[in-house]
């Protein structure tokens, strides 16, 4: 471990302000790198002795030199506190402690919340990370960086399971904790050699992708609904079964998203999650059923006034009961249903990838395994070709 070296520097830029003064700064140097910290003290050149790095010939020379000395002690105190915590002092940590007034004794949750709020991640990602931080605070109040060990990870994982969290939910929290710990290491709040995830394996199950079968989908299509609010939710759900849109993307739509290409209606959507632009030929997807739903809403107000996701899912539970579908499904099931049925109909997996807006075809390939009828359908197709 190396110590930071400090020295006072006057008029580093060799330029005086309008009052004929220049700034006194502290140069902090470590591993051939340096930063400059302001003392907020401006002096005329004749009041500074370069050889002794002191204020001279000034009416308050004694007080000003004492102030500069105390500031150097303050910086060394920050460095000493880091040493005591077993953390290699870095120029980044020193600068943060001075400029951002971040206390050196900051707890891990406090650091995490600050790092999350200042990041450029999506709001949904920030909310997920904040949820993990809340879980950490419940499990270990006042969590310190030094507490983040391999044993801590095992105990936290066990505690999450005791709270009734599923394996994949626990895995999600552990991945998000890993992200926050990496951030702490990158910012110098933790030494890299104390990385707790080096030997820790995050356990998870293969994710289930619930979907509606063609028969279940027909039950919803034929369901008679008189309540306008329930009808609206059902139509929105069916629309996404035919287009593969997420709830968030559906809510963001308006009439500007409907465009004409070769005199045919297309839906142009910028996916909020992946920032990928998807163009959907409504007349060709599921025999134009999505377009038929749109035509029943002359002002295209199907996209507006839909309840929040949790309320929408409650209404879908009621709809499932009325349609006598003994399967729990949510609004996101519509996306899985669209993908699964397209694969079942023989649409190329790369085409399904484009429709769903997946960044990787590996994500789309999951849907090729969930419907056994797809295998039977493909084998029958091969047999017919062999007989010809």
Domains of the chain: 5-99 (no CATH), 108-198 (1.10.150), 214-387 (1.10.443.10)
Tell me the C-alpha distance between 75 and 78, whole Å: 5
330-368 pLDDT, tens digit per residue, is 999 999 999 999 988 888 889 999 999 988 888 888 776
pLDDT, residue 309, reads 86
50-101 pLDDT, tens digit per residue, is 999 999 999 999 999 999 999 999 999 888 887 876 677 888 888 878 876 6
Tokens representing 266?
């297309």
Cα 185–Cα 191–Cα 195 angle in degrees, nearest 5? 70
Q: What is the mean pLDDT of the chain?
A: 88
pLDDT tier at 369 (50, 70, 90 boundaries)?
low
- Block residue for tokens 């759900």: 237
> Whole-prediction pTM value?
0.56
Tell me the C-alpha distance between 192 and 126, whole Å: 24
Query: Span 165-190, mean pLDDT?
Result: 91
218-230 pLDDT, tens digit per residue, is 999 999 999 999 9
The DSSP secondary-structure symbol of 256 reads G
Evaluate whether 282 touches 291 at the Cβ level (below 8 Å). yes
Give the DSSP letter string of 175-236: HHHHHHHHHHHHTTSS-GGG-GGGS-----PPPP-----HHHHHHHHT-----HHHHHHHHH
Torsion of Cα atoms, 367 then 373 then 378 then 383, to 10° = 170
pLDDT tier at 16 (50, 70, 90 boundaries)?
very high
List the beta bridge partners of residue 34.
29
87-145 pLDDT, tens digit per residue, is 778 888 888 788 766 555 678 998 899 899 988 887 878 988 999 999 999 999 889 88
**What are the CA-CA distances from residue 335 to residues 47, 238, 319, 367 (Å)?**
73, 10, 18, 11
Count of residues in the chain: 388
């Amino acid at each position: 471990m190396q110590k930071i070296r400090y020295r006072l520097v006057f008029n580093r830029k060799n330029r005086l302000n309008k009052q004929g003064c220049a700034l006194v700064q502290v140069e902090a140097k470590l591993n051939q790198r340096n930063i400059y910290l302001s003392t907020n003290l401006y002096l005329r050149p004749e009041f500074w002795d370069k050889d002794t790095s002191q204020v001279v010939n000034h009416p308050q020379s004694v007080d000003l030199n004492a102030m500069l000395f105390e500031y150097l002690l303050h910086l060394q105190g920050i460095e000493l506190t880091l040493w005591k915590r077993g953390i290699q002092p870095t120029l980044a940590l020193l600068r943060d402690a001075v400029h951002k007034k971040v206390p050196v004794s900051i707890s891990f949750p406090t650091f995490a919340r600050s790092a999350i709020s200042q990041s450029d991640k999506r709001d949904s990602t920030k909310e997920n990370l904040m949820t993990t931080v809340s879980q950490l605070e419940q499990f270990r109040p006042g969590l310190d960086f030094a507490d983040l060990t391999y044993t801590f990870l095992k105990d936290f994982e066990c505690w999450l399971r005791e709270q009734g969290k599923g394996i994949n939910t626990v895995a999600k929290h552990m991945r998000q904790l890993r992200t926050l710990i990496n951030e702490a290491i990158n910012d110098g709040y933790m030494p890299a050699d104390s990385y707790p995830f080096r030997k820790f394996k995050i356990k998870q199950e293969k994710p289930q992708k619930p979907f509606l079968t063609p028969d279940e989908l027909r039950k919803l299509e034929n369901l008679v609904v008189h309540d306008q609010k329930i009808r609206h939710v059902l139509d929105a759900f069916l629309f996404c079964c035919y287009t593969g849109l997420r709830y968030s993307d559906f809510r963001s739509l308006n009439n500007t998203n409907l465009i004409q290409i070769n005199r045919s209606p297309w839906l142009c959507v910028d996916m909020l999650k992946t920032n990928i632009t998807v163009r959907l030929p409504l007349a060709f997807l599921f025999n134009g059923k999505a377009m038929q739903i749109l035509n029943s809403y002359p002002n295209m107000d199907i996209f507006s006034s839909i309840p929040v996701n949790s309320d929408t899912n409650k209404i879908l539970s009621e709809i499932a009961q009325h349609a006598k579908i003994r399967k729990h499904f949510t609004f996101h099931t519509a996306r899985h249903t669209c993908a699964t049925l397209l694969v079942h109909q023989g649409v190329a997996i790369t085409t399904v990838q484009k429709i769903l807006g997946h960044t990787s075809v590996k994500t789309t390939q999951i849907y090729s395994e969930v419907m056994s009828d797809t295998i039977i359908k493909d084998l029958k197709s091969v047999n017919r070709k062999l007989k010809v």
